[in-house]
Amino acid sequence: MDLKDKIKIYLDQIKNLKGVENVVLTQRDGNPIQSSGVWLSKDEIFNVSSAASAIYNVGIKLHPKNLKYILIEGKKAKILIAPLNNPVHESLNKILEQQDILKNMNEFFIGITAQPNVNLGGIFLQTNNCLKTIKTTLLSSRQTFKPPLIEYDEIKLQEILNRFKIKESDEENYNFSSLLFNISEELSWELNKILNNFSLTVLDLNYAFLSVEGGFILSKILKNLKLSDRTIDNISAMSYSLFHVANRCAWLLKKMNAEDILLECNHSFQFINRIKDGIFCSEIGKNKQKLGLIRLYLPPFLRKISEVLKRTEKEEKPSSFDIKNLLGEMLIK
């Protein structure tokens, strides 16, 4: 039996669980290996796999050694992205290590789409044996999966070349809009107060911050003294990037916006929640509070932050950008 056919058998088992709609096994580079479920076209599979790959790679960058899964939640569906890094049988591990096979623990991941009322975390636990078997099959086969090469006919090549032709025009004007948050000292103090109360309510908090487009932080609180401001800035940028791509993936699959994202790791939870034109991100340890209790704590604080942000003045200022005038002003007379 072909390797992909073997994998499809296990993917079908996951697909047959109640509430599961689609399952796809993908390489880290975004190349889909096998899928089970209802897809509109091959292009959709590649688009979703590439978006999921971007989400997965950012998740691995944030938590390189202990990421368990990424859960994206929206009004129409839930999307789970999980690496195939579950430990296989100990004796097999030794064989794979001796043969230099067991090196790339994060090379493959699985994406599952399910109905919004389904407990995907529970499904992930139910499919643990299937995922282990898929991983063992992939690693022991030593087979690599490369994306198909794209061939173009003369007409398609000409269309591509035409896109690179220089457009002749006497004048070029570009319009752009800038998004500005005018936050007074009073509102900034209120945001800091909300985050401080959040840190007192949620035990074992490592950090929490509110960031806007691009990952620029408006307010933050650090409980883990080992984290520097620069580290938090990097986490903010990557978390916003992850949320942005997750939103795209959710739209490709279900024409919906991503509302909440959970990254479960071995020792902590990272939450990324949509708020107005930004995100609220927090990392909380697993030692003192359960996931269900933390989920109950989050919504009231998110509502308070949203109310404060509604009071900020959001202005969109269209401006005319004339490159010739700009360069002319830069000339030294």
Let me know if residue 168 belongs to a domain.
no
Q: What is the pLDDT of residues 19-77, one digit of tens each?
A: 888 888 888 888 888 888 876 566 677 778 888 899 999 999 999 888 888 999 999 99
Number of domains in the chain: 2
Among 88, 121, 141, the domain boundary falls at 141
Q: Same domain for 132 and 183? A: no
Let me know if residue 23 belongs to a domain.
yes
pLDDT at 166 over 50: no
Q: Is the dihedral of CA 180, 185, 188, 194 positive or negative?
A: negative
Q: Same domain for 203 and 284? A: yes
Q: Same domain for 195 and 85? A: no
Longest CA pairwise span in the chain (Å)? 78
Residue at 227: amino acid letter: L
Q: Same domain for 136 and 247? A: no
CA 218 from centroid of its chain's CA atoms: 21
Let me know if residue 201 belongs to a domain.
yes
Let me know if residue 147 belongs to a domain.
no
Residue 21 and residue 17: Cα distance in Å, rounded?
A: 9
Range of the domain at 24: 3-141
Let me know if residue 161 belongs to a domain.
no
The pTM of the whole model exceeds 0.85: no
User: What does the angle CA 84 – CA 88 – CA 93 come to, to the nearest 5 degrees?
Assistant: 115
Give percent of the chain with pLDDT exceeding 70.
73
Q: Same domain for 10 and 108? A: yes
CATH code, domain carrying 66: 3.30.450.30
Residue 271 and residue 264: Cα distance in Å, rounded?
A: 9
What pLDDT is stored for residue 58 in this prediction?
A: 92
Q: Same domain for 28 and 103? A: yes
Q: Same domain for 80 and 186? A: no
Let me know if residue 170 belongs to a domain.
no
Q: Same domain for 204 and 130? A: no
Let me know if residue 291 belongs to a domain.
yes
